[in-house]
Amino acid sequence: MKFGVVVFPGTNCDRDCYNVLKNVIRQDVEYVWFKDKVNWDDYGLIVLPGGFSYGDYLRPAAIARFAPALEGLSKYVEKGGLVLGICNGFQMLLELGLLPGAMIRNNNLQFICKDVFLKIDENDSPFLSQYEKGQIISLPIAHADGHYYIDDDGLKALQSNGQIVLRYCDDEGRVNQDTNPNGSIKGIAGLCNKDRNVLGLMPHPERASEEILGGSDGFKMFDSIVRFLDKKNK
């Protein structure tokens, strides 16, 4: 089982993701250059890491979506392959149409970098199974375009399908305007596709997977993935 971390010009969280997968979770992982044509069927997980692909010109991930390495990603997803998009990677998933909605500028029009509390709304996916539903965790965010938006019909679909998996909250799990750092509709911080094999989130679990970094709440996300793949491949 092999894990792939896709690297673009402007990516800056690839090494963090690689470190967690290689040295913390102890998996076979390799970098994938954005220009390479890739047979994704060889991979158990594809990670689209955070950063500023192509400098976020036009809008975040608008150019990256056309990278040669991503050409076969939709078919990979259709076959049940796992894709994790973190921050700029989440934005790529939206641009590719693998997740619904769009990402716009934070309400305060500023770059936000801080730890936030998150509520696990749904845990029935390969990415979140080791968390408890309703659990409160803490992860860092670092983005200028993290305001998730979707129209009313799209929001109703997300809610009815249980696709909203992470929401910004306070330390007691309250979700409201005061706990929302960027203005995301309904405090959405992460969501999955209907088949549960694609997850996009703005917070950075790879930056909080070891206690030496100040917190390890992100560890269970990667542990959930490995456990799912181990069980699937038995």
CATH of the domain at 99: 3.40.50.880
pLDDT exceeds cutoff 90 at 33: yes
What pLDDT, on a 0 to 100 scale, did the predictor assign at position 233?
A: 84
The parent domain of residue 26 ranges over 2-232
Q: List, for residues 132-186, the tens digit of each pLDDT value.
A: 999 999 999 999 999 999 999 999 999 999 999 999 999 999 999 999 999 999 9
The C-alpha atoms of residue 127 and residue 124 are separated, in whole angstroms, by: 8
Q: pTM of the prediction?
A: 0.97
Q: How confident is the model at residue 234 (pLDDT cuts 50, 70, 90)?
A: confident
CB 141 within 8 A of CB 203: yes
Task: Identify each DSSP E strand in the chain by its residue range.
Answer: 2-7, 28-33, 45-48, 82-86, 102-104, 112-120, 136-143, 147-149, 164-169, 188-192, 198-201
What pLDDT, on a 0 to 100 scale, did the predictor assign at position 57?
A: 87
Q: List, for residues 113-125, the tens digit of each pLDDT value.
A: 999 999 999 999 9
What pLDDT, on a 0 to 100 scale, did the predictor assign at position 195?
A: 97
The C-alpha atoms of residue 122 and residue 163 are separated, in whole angstroms, by: 8
Q: List, for residues 46-79, the tens digit of each pLDDT value.
A: 999 999 999 998 899 999 999 999 999 999 999 9
The C-alpha atoms of residue 115 and residue 117 are separated, in whole angstroms, by: 7
Determine what percent of the chain is predicted with pLDDT higher than 90: 95
Q: Which residue has the higher pLDDT, 130 or 231?
A: 130
Nearest to 224 by CA among 132, 141, 138, 136: 132
Residue 92 identity: M
pLDDT exceeds cutoff 90 at 92: yes
Residue 47: alpha-carbon gap to chain centroid: 8
**Residue 56: CA count within 13 A, CB half-sphere:** 17
N residues, the chain = 234
**Residue 121: CA count within 13 A, CB half-sphere:** 21
Please give the tally of structural domains in the chain. 1
Averaged pLDDT for residues 83-92? 98
- pLDDT averaged over the chain? 96
2 class by beta-carbon count within 10 Å (0-12 exposed, 13-18 middle, 19+ buried): exposed
CA quadruple 122, 185, 54, 50: dihedral, nearest 10: -30
Averaged pLDDT for residues 75-88? 97
Alpha helices in 143-217, H assignment, sequence order: 152-161
- What positions carry a catalytic annotation? 87, 204, 206
